[in-house]
C-alpha cells in the first residue's frame, strides 16, 4: 500500500496550512468570542481556489480530488473549528450534491459560483422532528403546474445567511409501496416565503453560521429539482457519506491542535522541580493521544482514497467519522487535563477546542447513528 500523498496533494496541504496559520488561526479566538462569521476569510479562501478544490475547472473548481479537499479541511479545522465547519458544510453539503446529481444547467448556474467562492453552499435536511431519523422529513413539496410549492421547517442549517441558494429536502408524494418519496430542491434564499431565523446560541463553533429555515408556500420552478425526483433519499444519504469524511477530517484537525498544545505545554510547565512531560502519567496521556490521532488519520485517508477511486466507502466513512470525532473529544479533554487550571481558562485555546470537538460527535450523524450504519454494513440484522 502507498501511504504517501501526490505532489499536488502536498502542494494543496502546504498552501492551506500556510494560509490557515497566517490568516485563520490569529482570528480564531475572536471569532469564538464574538460569534461573528469570518466572511472576509471565506472571500480570501475563494480567491485561493479552496472552495472548489474537489470540482473540475469547467465548473469553477481547482480540479483536485477528495484527498486534497480532506487535507484542506484538516488544516483549516486545526486553525479554527468554526471556520472549518462552515468550509466543510459549504463544499460537502452545499456544492457536492449539485456536482454529483445536478443537470448541466444546474452545475453552470449554481455550482460555478459556489466553487469560485462567490457564495457559500447550504444544505437543509434536519428538521425539529427529523434529526437522526432523516427519513421522517415533514417538509412537503407539491407540484402545481410547472412549479413546486414547498412548506416546512428546517433547523441547525449551516451557512444559510451567506448563501444564495440552499438545497432543501422535501416529501414529494409516495411510491407504489406507500413510502414517502423525498426529493431535493435548489431554493434561492431570497425566495418569497423563505425566512431565515436568527442564529442559535451554541456551546461551540460559535463563529459558524447556524440558523433555522421556515418555508411558507415557497415556489421554485420544476427545473430546480435536483437530479432524479424519485432518488432524493438516496442522494442525501450519499451526500452524508461524503460529508462524514470531511467532518472526520475536521475533528482530526481539532484533535491535533489540542495534542500539539499539550505536548508543547508538557515541555514547559514545571512541577516538583521537573517539566511535567517527564512524568509517566503525562507521557501516557500524550502517547495515547498520538496513537489515536494517527489511527484516525489512516481511517480518514482510506475513506477518501476509496471515494476518489469510485469504490464503496459508506462503512469506512462511518468508521472514520465515529472514531475521529470521539478521538478528538478525548484528545481535547486530556489536553485540558494536562494544562490543569490554565486549560479551563479562556486565555488558553484548549477549552475552545473541547467545545468545538464535541459537535463532531453529533453533526452529520451522531455516534450512535454511525454505529448503526457500521452494524448494517457488516451484516447485522435490522432491529
Instruction: Give SS3 for 121.
Output: coil
For residue 375, count other CB atoms closer than 10 A to its CB.
15
Q: Where are the alpha helices (DSSP H) in 107-173?
A: 112-115
* CA pair distance 277, 267, nearest whole angstrom: 5
Q: Determine the Cα angle at 93 with ends 48 and 66, to 5°.
A: 55
Adjacent-strand bridge partners of 274:
271
The residue from 219, 260, 364, 377 that is catalytic is 364
CA pseudo-torsion sign 134, 140, 144, 149: negative
- Kindly report the three-state secondary structure assignment for every residue of 11-69: HHHHHHHHHHHHHHHHHHHHHHHHCCCCHHHHHHHHHCCHHHCCCCHHHCCCCCCHHHH
- Is residue 364 flagged as an active site residue? yes
Please identify every residue annotated as catalytic.
364
Amino acid at each position: 500500500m502507498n501511504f504517501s500523498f501526490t505532489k499536488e496533494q502536498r502542494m494543496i496541504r502546504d498552501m492551506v496550512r500556510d494560509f490557515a496559520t497566517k490568516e485563520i488561526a490569529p482570528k480564531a479566538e475572536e471569532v469564538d468570542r464574538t460569534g461573528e462569521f469570518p466572511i472576509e476569510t471565506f472571500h480570501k479562501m475563494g480567491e485561493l481556489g479552496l472552495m472548489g478544490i474537489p470540482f473540475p475547472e469547467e465548473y469553477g473548481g481547482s480540479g483536485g480530488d477528495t484527498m486534497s479537499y480532506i487535507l484542506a479541511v484538516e488544516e483549516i479545522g486545526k486553525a479554527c473549528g468554526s471556520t472549518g465547519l462552515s468550509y466543510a458544510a459549504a463544499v460537502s453539503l452545499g456544492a457536492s450534491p449539485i456536482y454529483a446529481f445536478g443537470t448541466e444547467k444546474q452545475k453552470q448556474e449554481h455550482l460555478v459560483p459556489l466553487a469560485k467562492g462567490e457564495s457559500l453552499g447550504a444544505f437543509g435536511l434536519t428538521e425539529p422532528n427529523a434529526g437522526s431519523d432523516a427519513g421522517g422529513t415533514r417538509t412537503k413539496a407539491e407540484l402545481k403546474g410547472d412549479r413546486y410549492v414547498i412548506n416546512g421547517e428546517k433547523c441547525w442549517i449551516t451557512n444559510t445567511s451567506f448563501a444564495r441558494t440552499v438545497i432543501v429536502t422535501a416529501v414529494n408524494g409516495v411510491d407504489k409501496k406507500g413510502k414517502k418519496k423525498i426529493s431535493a430542491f435548489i431554493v434561492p434564499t431570497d425566495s418569497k416565503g423563505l425566512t431565515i431565523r436568527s442564529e442559535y446560541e451554541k456551546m461551540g463553533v460559535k463563529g459558524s453560521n447556524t440558523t433555522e429555515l421556515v418555508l411558507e408556500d415557497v415556489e421554485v420552478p420544476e427545473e430546480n429539482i435536483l437530479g432524479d425526483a424519485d432518488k432524493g433519499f438516496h442522494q442525501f444519504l450519499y451526500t452524508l457519506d461524503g460529508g462524514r469524511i470531511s467532518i472526520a477530517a475536521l475533528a482530526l484537525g481539532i484533535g491535533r491542535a489540542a495534542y500539539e498544545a499539550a505536548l508543547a505545554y508538557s515541555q514547559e510547565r514545571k512541577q516538583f522541580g521537573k517539566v511535567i512531560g517527564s512524568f509517566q502519567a503525562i507521557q501516557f496521556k500524550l502517547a495515547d493521544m498520538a496513537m489515536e490521532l494517527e489511527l484516525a488519520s489512516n481511517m480518514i485517508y482510506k475513506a477518501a482514497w476509496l471515494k476518489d477511486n469510485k469504490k464503496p466507502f459508506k462503512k469506512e466513512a462511518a468508521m472514520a467519522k465515529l472514531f475521529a470525532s470521539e478521538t478528538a473529544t478525548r484528545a481535547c479533554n486530556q489536553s485540558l487535563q494536562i494544562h490543569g487550571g490554565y486549560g479551563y481558562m479562556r486565555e488558553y485555546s484548549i477549552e475552545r477546542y473541547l467545545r468545538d470537538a464535541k459537535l463532531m460527535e453529533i453533526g452529520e450523524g451522531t455516534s450512535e447513528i454511525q454505529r448503526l450504519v457500521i452494524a448494517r454494513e457488516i451484516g447485522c440484522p435490522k432491529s
